[in-house]
A and B are shown apart, each in its own frame.
Chain A
Amino acid sequence: MSDTQWTRYYVFKKDTEKTPFESCGTVHAPDAELALQNARDVFVRRPNCLELWAVPADQVYTWSGDEVGALLESSMGFEDEGEVYHVFLKERRKTQHLLAGSVRGVTPEHALRAALKAFFSAEIGVWRLVPERAVLRSERSEQPSWFGPAYDKLYRQPNFYHTDSLMREIRRRRGESKPDED
């Protein structure tokens, strides 16, 4: 194992009760617990966050929309059974991978078929499945201590600085001090 490489973990983030989890990127960490802490430092320096998940990269299964097309027909009669997989979908022209729901599968490929049956659309460019057993999640009860401090740092927001009104004020003053052109 090299010095700085470590394992890659996918990070999934839920901002508010009304918005779905998003697959927002990856971090490196020597273990899952630190992956979660790194994920907080990298992806949640600002509000909002309710909950974070970290999942080792080798437990995240991804297919392109073009790959899954051939499986569609044989997936329609598929029975849901086995363990729970969370299904993240990304539309071809969009950038976000969002949680669509959960299915059951005996293997990742079975789970994919269950996902196709439930959510198929030709507009989907990326299918990403995550088994529930591989998810390490931040505790909801710790939400205030984990994510609360970001709410106090208003100076991280661009509208904290009133540069537009300052510039308007300066332009107005300069306008007044100019000699009348009439």
Chain B
Amino acid sequence: MEAKTQTQDSADEARLAEFQARIDRGEKIEPGDWMPPTYRRQLVRMISQHAHSEIVGMLPEGGWITRAPSLRRKLVLLAKVQDEAGHGEYLYHAAETLGATREEMIDDLLSGKAKYSNIFNYPALTWADIAIIGYFVDGAAIVNQTMLSRCSYGPYARANIRISAEESFHMQQGKEMVIKMAMGEQELKALVQDAINRWWWPTLMMFGLPDAESPNSPALIRWGIKTKTNDELRQLFVTRTVDELHDLGLTVPDPDLRYDEESGDWISGPIDWDEFWRVVNGDGPCNRERMAARRKAHDDGQWVREALEAYAQREGNGSSL
């Protein structure tokens, strides 16, 4: 028995070494290929959370479509929210290549078992929040997704390549609004500054726990799932965004923010991780509202799915094909 286990172990070790060598050579891992169970598990966790975030991410902005200040802004917001639905689809399908099913993932979301990006548990109170969501939240997402476009797992890399290409419009439309509001009358400038004050810290939390408290990071980097750590990605976002905000005459709500001459980086003060955990664990301003809206949308679509299926059955070209 023991001898057999040892043979098994050394076979696994050889496969693991070959797997690592493929990643180090820059090869993509594809669905039929051998992969360590942890690699598969980590990817299913990351990709399904990413998918759920795209879907729940439609809600804060969706509420503003009917209240957009102009037809142009309304068209843009509609197109952006529609993109997020498409991104959710790319990602559910990427996770399905690892053995999860879309149905299981959606069930986990609706039952509250699965997590989505914490940022969407905060409310969009004014139109300036829509500008800031595009500029901050999509800007932060692009930093992350640009890295994930080089992910060692082929289907996830492909999904992120498509998403990044489309998401840069999301960031640009938000940034354009922020710039115009900052150049506008005092009242508009105050409105956008207020949105910044509320969204700045939750946006920084989007990059995840500090490296020292992120136990998965070393394995994710070794396997080429990620190529930068949470803190490195967060720093990229902070430095780029703070410089732009200062040029616009706007500020970030961080009394400890300081400029590091040596690295040329803006260093932020401590992040309130207690707040992060409180919101993740269900006690944010909008957790209940988001889940109720998601469940309602799912239930309201029930008759459409039934009708589509009945039609397919009648025409005889349904899933039995």
Binding site for B on A (CB under 8 A): 1-8, 24-28, 30-34, 41-43, 45-46, 56, 62-64, 66-67, 90, 92-96, 125-126, 153, 155-158, 160-163, 166-167, 170-171, 174
8 Å CB contact of A155 from B30, B76, B103, B158: B76
Task: Check A125 against B30 for contact (C-beta < 8 Å).
Answer: yes
Task: Check A41 against B247 for contact (C-beta < 8 Å).
Answer: no
Looking at chain B's contact residues, is the secondary structure mostly helix, strand, loop, or mixed?
helix
Question: Residue of A at shortest CB range from B169?
Answer: A158
- A-B pairs, 10 with minimum CB distance: A30-B312, A161-B172, A31-B312, A7-B319, A158-B168, A5-B103, A161-B176, A92-B27, A158-B169, A31-B317
Task: Check B30 against A158 for contact (C-beta < 8 Å).
Answer: no
Surface stretch bound by A, among B208-216, B265-273, B303-311:
B303-311
Question: Could you give, for residues 1-44 of chain B, a 1 whenever the CB lies within 8 Å of some chain A CB and a 0 otherwise?
Answer: 00000000000000000000010011110111100000000000
Q: Which residues of A contact B76 (CB under 8 A)?
A: 155
Task: Check B166 against A46 for contact (C-beta < 8 Å).
Answer: yes
State whether A5 and B93 are in contact (beta carbons under 8 Å apart), knowing that A32-B321, A155-B173, A156-B169 are contacts in the complex.
no
Task: Check B89 against A95 for contact (C-beta < 8 Å).
Answer: no
Given contacts A92-B22, A96-B158, A155-B79, 9 further A-B contacts (CB under 8 A): A4-B102, A4-B106, A8-B93, A25-B90, A45-B79, A64-B33, A92-B25, A157-B169, A170-B248
Interface range, B side? 35 or more
8 Å CB contact of A7 from B31, B90, B321: B321
Q: Which residues of A contact B28 (CB under 8 A)?
A: 90, 92-95, 125
Asked whether B62 is an interface residue with its Cβ less than 8 Å from the other chain, the reply is: no
- 18 sampled A-B residue pairs with Cβ under 8 A: A5-B101, A8-B96, A25-B94, A25-B159, A30-B311, A31-B317, A33-B317, A45-B82, A90-B154, A92-B28, A93-B27, A95-B28, A96-B158, A125-B27, A158-B172, A161-B172, A161-B175, A166-B179
State whether A3 and B319 are in contact (beta carbons under 8 Å apart), knowing that A45-B166, A158-B172 are contacts in the complex.
no
Looking at chain A's contact residues, is the secondary structure mostly helix, strand, loop, or mixed?
mixed
Question: Residue of A at shortest CB range from B101?
Answer: A5
CA distance A76 to B175 in the complex (A): 58
Task: Check B244 against A167 for contact (C-beta < 8 Å).
Answer: yes
Task: Check B321 against A56 for contact (C-beta < 8 Å).
Answer: yes
Task: Check A155 against B75 for contact (C-beta < 8 Å).
Answer: yes
Q: Which residues of B contact A63 (CB under 8 A)?
A: 32
Task: Check A161 against B166 for contact (C-beta < 8 Å).
Answer: no
Question: Residue of B at shortest CB range from A56?
Answer: B321
Asked whether B185 is an interface residue with its Cβ less than 8 Å from the other chain, the reply is: no
CA distance A14 to B238 in the complex (A): 39
CA distance A66 to B86 in the complex (A): 33
Q: Which residues of A contact B89 (CB under 8 A)?
A: 27, 42
Question: Residue of A at shortest CB range from B73?
Answer: A155
| Shortest Cβ gap from B98 to chain A (Å) | 13
| Shortest Cβ gap from B160 to chain A (Å) | 10
